[in-house]
Structure 1
Amino acid sequence: MGGVTLFFCFSLLCICSNAQVPSGISGNATVQDELALLSFKSMLSSSPSSVLASWNKSGHYCSWPGVVCGRRHPDRVVALRLGSFNLSGHISPFLGNLSFLQKLDLRNNQLVGQVPAELGHLGRLQGLNLSTNFLQGSIPAAMGGCTNLKVLDLSSNKLQGEIPAELGSLKDLINLRLHKNGLSGEIPWYLTDLQSLRFLSLYENRLSGAMPPTFGNLTSLQELDLEGNMLSGAIPSSLGLLPSLSWISLENNNLSGSIPDSIWNMSSLTAFSVLNNQLSGTIPPGAFNALHRLESLILSNNQLRGSIPPSISNASKINVLQVSNNFFSGTVPLEVGNLGDINWLQLSGNLLEAKESKDWEFLTALANSSQLEFLLLGSCKFGGALPESLSNLSTSLRFISLSHNAISGSIPRDIGNLINLQFLDLRFNSFTGSLPSSFSKLKNLHTFSVALNKMSGLIPMAIGNLTELNQLELVGNSFSGMIPSTIGNLTKLVGLGLGSNNFTGPIPTEIFNIHTLSYFGSLNKLSGEIPSSLGECQVLQNLYLQNNMFSGGIPSLLAQLKSLQIVDLSSNNLSGKIPTFFGTFRVLDYLNLSFNSFSGELPTIGVFANSSAISIQGNSKLCGGILDLHLPSCPSDVPKKKHMLSVIPIVISLVATGFILASVYMLLTWHKRKKTTAPSTTFMQGHPLVSYSQLVKATDGFSATNLLGSGTFGSVYKGKLEGHVGEITNLVAVKVLKLQTPGAVKSFLAECEALRNMRHRNLVKIVTACLSIDYSGNDFKAIVYDFMPSGSLESWLHPDTNGQMEHQFLNLLERVSILLDVAFALDYLHCHGPAPVIHCDLKSSNVLLDADMVAHVGDFGLAKILYENSTVFHQSMSSVGVRGTIGYAAPEYGAGNMASTHGDIYSYGILVLEMMTGKRPTDSNFTRGLSLREYVALGLQGRVLDVVDTHLSMGLENGLQTACIFSPEAKIDSLISLLRLGVSCSHETPSSRMSTGEVMKELHDIKESLMQGTITS
């Protein structure tokens, strides 16, 4: 209480003197500094046991923790060093009265509120560090009053607004760090007048516009970090004229044009990164002649072309070289292999090629690079045989990717020499021969894939030595013989793909002792019964055993596999009854039992109640099931009906008695129920609630004719409300929750929580909600949305051949516009809404189109709200399990990772590919180890039109368009760009996916290119 009183009295004194020391104590330095410190403590919320507990009258303030007093003025505070003191609360404005203060360090605490403008009174202040807190508001213009400031670090806060012009007056500033905030506007030109500035860090803000050409004035600058903004335009050539600049990061912006020649002449340069921009042009032949100090060069994800110049050997200190996803062509010069210090070499996603053995000489030369750990050469045009010299590379090598090339021949026989290898990806090539015997030496290997090659022979028993493996993909080869039982030793295995080979015999039971296994696929010639031990794999999510020769029944122990999402047992010789337990699996989305010899009654619960989720054709002895399956009635139905006739009187008697008792009970509890189920008037703040009776009338009693669709947690009806309630328009869509479904209530809360404060043109507008009870006294919950008259995107991409939209399809421009709309919605959700939101279930059926064909993202039943601007999901009330939808859900979700914005981008990438190919990600063509993404990647290497939606390819070849006619060149270029966009967004590695800003920029450019290529008549 005493501290509060002291602060109150001090506050009154300071208010009366415009926040300066009162005249009555101006001569008493001890009182002045001590009161300022006690004021600072009083505005903190730390407990008395904190590190500042000793800040009291019992000792001189110069002895308090974190307080430093001067030598010439021993009673004046010259420094406050309170970094990482676990302080919380606000920063007191009365720190501005510490007139001798030279250093203020409050970094890495939990401070909130605004940066006090009174700190601008500290004319002697040389260092101010408030980084890594939770400060908000703008940077005070008054900071320009700290004329002796040399270090200003406000990074990792929540500051917003523009950088104030007054900072341009801090002529002695050496270090300016404002990164990881929400600062907007352009980079002010007046910052470039700070000729003493050595370190400028503005990364991960929202700065836009062009880089000022006056950067050339910063002649003392050593490090420049502008990564993760929205900067556009060209890189100013003046940047390359700075004599001391050694570190430049311009990653994740929208910069265009070529890299200025002056950059290639910077002898001081040690690191240069322009990852994820729109840069074009070539690298000059002599680009590396002056870059003798260069250690890191990152040019990935741009539009650079031409060859890699041999002069790169002059940059002999390079340890990171990343030029992936550009248009570099030709062979890789031998000089790349002579980079002795190289640690990370990434050339993937280019047009680089190798046809003859001499084209692989760079790889042989890399044997002298003893620090090499990452070698990424995938998605290029490398061909010919892989040289045996690969086995001579450094034993420090951990990551090799050669996927999506045209490499032939055998895997080098001594590959086992690379004993520290953890990742080996050889997918989508033309490798032949068998696995080399030395392969069993790779005991640190985590991931191995030779999927879709031409390999053959037996799988060696010694494969069981690779006990660190968690992904083993052998899909799409000609391996033969029996599956080795030693695979059961791989106890960390998560995914096992053996499909589309020539394996024979039974599945070794040892495999199903691997409790971590979540994916198992095998399309071979396997025989025998399905092992009961399969039931031990209780985390198994996907089970593919189709196209084998299994016989017998489905083991009862499979009832333990509650995590199954996809089961395909089709085209075998299985018989007996179909077990009911599949209907109890809550997450089972697809069950294919077709073309077997099953008999008896088909269950009707769970997955069996959804005709689109099961396939049972080719089983002529089945009966019963739901009506949609059109199976014959079971023979046992007749005696059941006769028995029912004999019990009808008893049932009627029991029902009548029960009805009377229930009626009495309802009358007695009605008042109580009304109180407990009455909806909160603040639950959907700003959205007035409607009643159950209003919705009954609006939907004609929730009639089947008004049913728009049905999902896991609810059914959606078209309705027409009379009059207006709040903002309600007449036509609405009413989502009625299936409260009996586990997770439905959480889905309802998640959707309301995510949408109630959201306002964006491309989000489905939530009109109101209904929390009530129906006419039977049961709980009733519903959400009311604006009605979208043009239906879902799914209905346009995959129209019912018997429906009204049989002859309608979307032209290319319409598809690009819809993709832009969805990107705008995601950008708002992730970056610009009241709180960042992850949708978690983006797919074509959740994209709805209004009368003008504007896209609106809907169905937020799995949405997750982020906190503290993290990109990772923070647990909240919306705890519905994150699964999304099979085919659209990011692969990391299957490994148990938390939801993230990267997951939405993956789903968006799959949506792009679906729109361009006209194929669902769950298309039957993709069940044999091939995914939609890999299908498109193959098409990009060959005939692009082979993978494009026939409506679009026909329009291209025949000149047919519903709205406008594009030039063939513009259309082909746009199709390729869109397919690449989808592949990039759906990258397996979350951090490699594009951001929403990059997606919008790419789509905008594609749309502009299309419009410029329109043929006018």
Structure 2
Amino acid sequence: MASPIFTILSLFIFSCFVLSTPATCSSNETDLVSLLSFKNTVNDPQGALYSWNETTHFCSWNGIQCGRRHPNRVVAINLRSQDLMGTLTPHIGNLSFLRSINLQNNSFRGEIPNEIGRLRRLESVDFSNNSFIGAIPRNISQCPNLFYLNLIDNNLSGIIPQELGSLYKLEALGLSGNELLGPIPPSIGNLTSLGVLSLTLCGLTGEIPNSLVRLHRLTFLSLAFNNLVGTIPSGLFNISMLREFVVNRNQLQGSIPGSIGLTLPNLRIFYLGQNQLSGGIPMSLSNASSLERIQLTSNLFTGPIPRLGRLSLLSSLSIGDNPVNDDISFIASLTNCTNLERLLVYEIPLLGGPLPHSVVNFSSGLIELVISGTQVRGEIPSGIGNLVALNRLVLSNNDLEGPIPSDIGKLSSLQELFLEGNRFKNQLPSSLGNMTLLSYLYLQENNFSGNLPQSLSNCTKLLGLDLSSNNFSGLIPREIMSLSSISLSFNLSFNAFMGSIPSEIGSLTNVENLDFSNNRLSGLIPNSLSNCLVLQHLFLKGNLLQGEIPPGLSALRGLVELDLSRNNLSGTIPSFLAELHLQRLNLSYNGFHGEVPRTGLFRNRTAISLDGNKELCGGIPELNLPPCSSKTSSKKNPSSLPKVLIAVVISGGVFITFLVFLVLVLYRRRRPKENVASIESLVGTQFTRLSYGDLLKATNGLSEANLIGSGRFGSVYKGILEDHGKTLIAVKVLNPFVKGAFKSFMAECNALRDIRHRNLLKLLSVCESIDFQGNDFRSLIYDFKANGSLDKWLYHHVEQEGLRRLSLIQRLDIAIDVAHALEYLHFGTDSTIVHGDLKPSNILLDHNMIAYVGDFGLAKIVSDMFPAQESSSSIGIRGTIGYIAPEYGTSNLVSTQGDVYSYGVLLLEIFTNRRPTDDSFKEYATLQGFVSAALSDGILKIIDPLIQIENDKSINKITDCVVSVLSIGVACSKDLPRDRMSMTDVVRELHKIKDRYLSANRS
């Protein structure tokens, strides 16, 4: 209900405009009523509009700026990132002196009112990162002074109005991340003052209009992730001011002018990937001396690859998946590119020649080297250990041979090593164990031989290990079986391993896929497999295993596929296999006997294979097995149940099935259209789906006793999945009535669908259903972390909470864990992922105090769409005050450097125990300013006193360590993105600090 003051003032303004002459009205009263109307249509959970009341003049209200020439008239509204929700009042059109309005990073919904077209003085509009719907107002073209229009990341629909072409002063137009239709209107070519045009991920169709060639002041052009067809107008390659040319992921055809390197002298970012472009790669690219990033992947380019050694600023080159016919020797020239960080050459079948020895002379800052899917031959040159910054090395599916050089162990930063599909031979060097940060080691389909080096057990961060299809022999080292970090896959199949499967296999508590097939393994299947509760696929076929199927397998409730075929197993088929959620079971060619179960998976003939077990009987008729003896049947045949009970159960089942079907039909009819897009399209099928009933049971009815946290978009409950091995889970339940919750839910699913890392919170399952009241129910199910959030450990009273004090080394380990997670998000996948909301409450700790980064509800997948450290499809990103990078408020950046800024603040917070919004350092403005001053004046006064209590006798060692850490925090949280460290450097430096500290304590 409107307040009395608002009602009175509304009537007053109405009388002014309708019943009286203009002289009767006070213009500042018009502005007052308009602002009160604005407040009246929004929800303000953070109290951002608390000062908006009649006790003070509106010119002093938060976010309001009045003019100098007209001191009582509103000229600017800046309410960026204030957590506001609601609609935008049409009264905004009465603020006739308004020049700027910024509502970025809120949750406004509804349509943008047409009355905005009445603001003739309007110069800047920023409504990015909201939930506005409907069409872009056509009459915004009546704002002749508009030079900045940012509507990025909303839910706007319809076409781009051709009337926008009359905004001749417009310098920046951002419409990316909406649900627009149709072509780019040719009238955009009239905006000859335009410097930034961002139309990424809009669903646009048609051709790029030739009129865009008139935009001679254009410096940034992004049309990526649309459905554009036709050719790129040749005139665009003559706009000499262009610095970023991004048109990847469309259906564009044609060739690129050979002179592009001369006509675009300022070009820094050049992304053409995932199109249908053809012809030669312009040789003149070597003349574009400002080029930093080149992406030409997945096109039809032919001919030779330019020698780009003169591009001293080049940091990234990706030319994969093209029918290029050339020699790999082109990469030798890249040794002159001293800023090169990434080189990706993949899926080029006609690329041949010997691997140049000069690769060992690449930039010492090289982070990623990919040469795969080619005919490149030769050996990995000795000296590869010179590339000390390398964290990803992919040389898979080539024609490489010879041994792996032992100095590869010098790559101490390496996290991913892929050498599969070559002809490498000899034993693995023991130096592989020096790469203790390895997450992925894939060496399958080679000619390696001999025993596995026990030093691999030092790689305690491994997530995936694949040594299949080689000639390894001997026993499986028990030490390697104890790598509990492995969660994706452990594959030793198609080798010559012998002996028994070590009981230490039970240490693989997180592994999902386990394959020891086709070896010479003997003995019993270890019962310790019962500890592998996450296991989904277990393959032990083609060995010499004996004995019965161990009862421990009954604990593997997540098992989807089990293959024990071609062994010497015996005994009866255990009934618990019918109770598992298996989709495929192969027990063929063993010595099993007795009755085959008739329930569960055993009812599906195509899902089971029992061939070669001559003493089996019973089962479903389709198996064509002989009937069992009456003695066996009396014990196990369900026909002995009372027929009445069976009839009741069947009838009840039919009735329940009908009810479920009816509910689903009604639910689908009532679901809003915009939410029809299922999470299946994002998360795929790799996650176990749980029902609303499952989660209700696990959380005791979502009771308050199980509530462990709540936020803006929902609440988190602790639960136990009884039917999944008593698995502890954390259930994040989205509030369907909060705007932005669904968007956050989909962002989190999208970010987590393809990423796995030891320090990222693991998504176990998803649920999209309806509750018992018929409301939408969406939840994300995570692995429960026993020690809760870092925020709790930093700020709660440790005695009252029963928590230990965080030691210095624990804080350092937590900082390193989080740094590893961010480095993986930024550099560890094909897509660059920006977390967007790094803070202590989003860092969770397990029982070993290992840190995990969670809450990806604000994550942005930058992919190849923009340079990760420069641009994005969004001119802003939500976050938390104190952790948001300053450039998010002033420019069109969503970048990895924004995460680095947040990490820097977090790092300072961990070691000072002061929040970035603390009042104790107001004279320094920020936490980093406060710490910077203390670094020169003495840090003892700002270090968390609990660290000093830890060991007063070693205060000098502690001080040295903390000074080094805080220096990194300050360096990461610099105001300018280019001055900040990269997460790769942060990881390396933090490890050095830890090593020095531990060494000092040992001496």
Contact in 1 for aligned 2:9/2:33 (Cα 8 Å): no
* Mapped partners of 1:144, 1:524: distance in 2: 72
Q: Distance in 2 between matches of 1:496 and 1:990?
A: 31
Match of 2:472 among 469, 474, 479: 479
CA contact (8 A) 2:181 2:202 kept: yes
Q: 1:247 to 1:10 in 2, by over 3 A?
A: same
Q: 1:574 to 1:35 in 2, by over 3 A?
A: same
Aligned twin of 1:538: 533
Please give the secondary structure, in 2, of the residue aligned with 1:257.
Answer: coil
* 1:34 aligned partner, one-letter code: L
Q: What is aligned with 2:544?
A: 549
Trace 1:6-25 onto structure 2 (pairs within 5 A): 6-7=6-7, 10=10, 13-14=13-14, 17=17, 23=21
Other-structure match for 2:383 = 389
- Do the aligned partners of 2:173 and 2:194 also contact (CA within 8 Å) in 1? yes
8 Å Cα contact 2:208-2:233 kept in structure 1: yes
Instruction: Please say if residues 326 and 351 of structure 2, whose CA atoms lie closer than 8 Å, have aligned partners that are also in contact.
Output: yes
Matches within 5 A, 1:165-204: 165-204=162-201
- In structure 2, the CA distance between the partners of 1:350 and 1:898, relative to structure 1 (3 Å rule), is farther
Map of 2:558 onto structure 1? 563
Inter-partner Cα distance in structure 2 for 1:302 and 1:875: 29
Report the AA paired with residue 367 of structure 1: N
Q: 1:519 aligns with which of 513, 517, 527?
A: 513
Provide the alpha-carbon RMSD of the alignment. 3.8
User: What's the CA shift for 1:894?
Assistant: 11
Is 1:248 paired with 2:241? Answer: no
Q: 1:879-909 CA deviation, whole Å, 9 max, x = no partner?
A: 9xx99xxxxxxxx999747699xxxxxxxxx
Aligned residues: 710
Q: State the 1:417 CA deviation.
A: 1.1
**Conserved 8 A contact 1:754-1:837:** no
Structure 2 counterpart of 1:407, one-letter code: L
**Does 1:498 pair with 2:340?**
no
SS of the residue aligned with 1:260?
Answer: coil
Name the structure 2 match of 1:317: 313
Q: Once the two structures are superposed, what CA deviation does each residue of 1:18-53 show, in whole Å capped at 9, x if it has no partner?
A: 9xx974566512212111111111122336x72213
Whole-angstrom CA distance in 2 between matches of 1:298 and 1:142: 39
Residue 842 (structure 1) shift: 9.0
Provide, for residues 300-319 of structure 1, a one-character-per-residue CA deviation record: whole Å limited to 9, x for no partner: 11111111122x11222110
Partner AA of 2:30 in structure 1:
Q
Letter of the 1:405 counterpart? N
Which residue does 1:326 correspond to in 2? 322
Cα pair 2:188 2:211 within 8 Å, conserved: no
Letter in 2 for 1:456: S
Cα distance change, pair 583–292 in 1 and its aligned pair in 2 (3 A): same
In structure 2, the CA distance between the partners of 1:409 and 1:354, relative to structure 1 (3 Å rule), is farther
Contact 1:737 1:748 (8 Å CA) reproduced: no
Q: Is 2:212 the counterpart of 1:215?
A: yes
> Is 1:445 aligned with 2:287?
no
**CA, structure 1 residues 544+739, in 2 after alignment: closer, same or farther (shift >3 Å)?**
farther
Kindly indicate whether the alpha-carbon contact (under 8 Å) linking 2:352 and 2:374 is maintained by their aligned counterparts in 1: no
| Match in the other structure for 2:348 | 350
Whether the aligned pair in 1 keeps the contact of 2:260 and 2:285 (CA below 8 Å) is: no
Question: What is the rounded CA distance, in whole Å, between the counterparts of 1:491 and 1:11 in structure 2?
Answer: 71
The residue number in structure 1 matching 2:3 is 3
Contact kept in structure 2, 1:7 and 1:42, CA below 8 Å = no
Which residue does the alignment assign to 2:159?
162
Please list, as runs of the form range in 1=range in 2, the aligned pairs for 1:630-669 lying within 5 A after superposition.
630-637=624-631, 640=634
Residue 456 (1) aligns with residue 449 (2):
yes
Q: CA deviation at 1:123?
A: 1.6
Question: Following the alignment from structure 2 to structure 1, what is the Cα–Cα distance between the partners of residues 325 and 14?
Answer: 70
| Distance in 2 (alpha carbons) for counterparts of 1:555 and 1:747 | 39
Q: Post-superposition shift, 1:869?
A: 11
Structure 2 residue 414 is the aligned partner of structure 1 residue 421 = yes
Indicate the SS of the match to 2:428: coil
Give the distance between the partners of 1:303 and 1:753, measured in 2 at CA: 46
Out of 503, 514, 518, the position equivalent to 1:509 is 503
| Aligned residues of 2:298 and 2:322 also touching (Cα < 8 A) | yes
**Counterpart Cα distance in 1 of 2:554 and 2:76:** 68
Give unpaired runs (5+ residues) of structure 2: 687-732, 754-759, 769-860, 866-1003
Q: Distance in 2 between matches of 1:738 and 1:841?
A: 30
Counterpart AA for 2:519? N
| Unaligned runs of at least 5 residues, structure 1 | 667-701, 703-713, 715-735, 759-828, 844-863, 884-891, 901-988, 994-1017
Which string of whole-angstrom CA distances, capped at 9 and with x for unpartnered residues, describes residues 180-199 of structure 1? Answer: 11222222222222222111
- Per the alignment, do residues 496 and 204 of structure 1 end up closer, same or farther by CA in structure 2, a change over 3 Å counting? same
1:100 alignment partner in structure 2: 97
Q: 1:582: which partner in 2?
A: 577
Partner of 1:294: 291
Query: In the TM superposition, what whole-angstrom CA distance separates every residue of 1:461-493 from its partner, at most 9, and x where no partner exists?
Result: 111111001111011111000000001331111
What is the letter of the counterpart of residue 577 of structure 2? F
Q: Residue 23 and residue 408 in structure 1: after superposition, are their counterparts in 2 closer, same or farther (change >3 A)?
A: farther
Other structure's SS at 2:42 match: coil
Counterpart mapping for 1:116-131 below 5 A? 116-131=113-128
- Over 3 Å counting, the alpha-carbon distance change for 1:873 and 1:78 in structure 2 is closer
- Relative distance call for 1:346 and 1:150 in structure 2 (3 A) is same
1:4–1:543 CA distance, 2 compared to 1 (3 A): farther
Tell me, in whole angstroms, the C-alpha distance in 1 between the residues paired with 2:20 and 2:173: 34
Counterpart-to-counterpart distance in 2, 1:591 and 1:489: 27
Question: Relative to structure 2, which stretch is displaced further, 183-192 or 121-130?
Answer: 183-192
What TM-score, normalized by structure 1, do the two folds share? 0.65
CA spacing shift, 1:739–1:89, aligned 2, 3 Å: same
Q: Deviations over 1:346-387 (max 9, x none)?
A: 1101135344xxx322x5245241111111111122223232
The AA in structure 1 aligned to 2:29 is V
Shift of 1:740: 7.4
Deviates more, 1:118-127 or 1:744-753: 744-753
Partner-residue secondary structure (3-state), 1:278: coil
For structure 1, which segment, 73-82 or 626-635, has the greater mean C-alpha deviation from structure 2 after superposition? 626-635
Q: Does 1:615 align with 2:613?
A: no
* SS of aligned partner of 1:10: helix
Q: 3-state SS of the aligned residue for 1:327?
A: coil
Which structure's CA Rg is the greater one? 1
Mapped to 2, the partners of 1:399 and 1:22 lie a distance apart of 74
What amino acid is the match of 1:554? I
> One-letter code of the match for 1:580?
S
Deviation for aligned residue 1:280:
0.6
Say if 1:604 and 1:753 are closer, same or farther in 2 by CA, change over 3 A.
Answer: same
Q: Is the 8 A contact 2:430 2:456 kept in 1?
A: no
SS in 2 for 1:252: coil
**Post-superposition CA distance 1:588-632 (Å, at most 9, x none):** 011111111112222222112222211112111222222222222
Of structures 1 and 2, the one with the larger relative CO (CA 8 A, separation 6+) is: 2
Query: SS of 1:321's equivalent?
Result: strand
The CA deviation string for residues 70-104 of structure 1, in whole angstroms up to 9 with x for no partner, is 22221111111111111111111112111211111
After TM superposition, list the pairs within 5 Å mapping 1:686-725 onto structure 2: none
**Could you say which residue in structure 2 is the equivalent of 1:272?**
270
Distance 1:41 1:756 in 2: 32
Letter in 1 for 2:569: L
Q: 1:565 to 1:27 in 2, by over 3 A?
A: same
- Aligned partners of 1:380 and 1:405 also within 8 Å: yes
Distance 1:753 1:218 in 2: 50
**Paired residue type of 1:576:** G
For 1:345, the aligned partner's letter is L
Q: Distance in 2 between matches of 1:234 and 1:4?
A: 61
Question: 2:605 is paired with a residue of what secondary structure?
Answer: coil
What's 2:680 paired with? 838
Q: Which residue of 276, 279, 282 corresponds with 1:281?
A: 279
Distance 1:454 1:871 in 2: 49
Deviation at 1:639, TM superposition (A): 8.9
How many Å apart are 1:240 and its aligned residue?
1.8
One-letter code aligned to 2:507: N
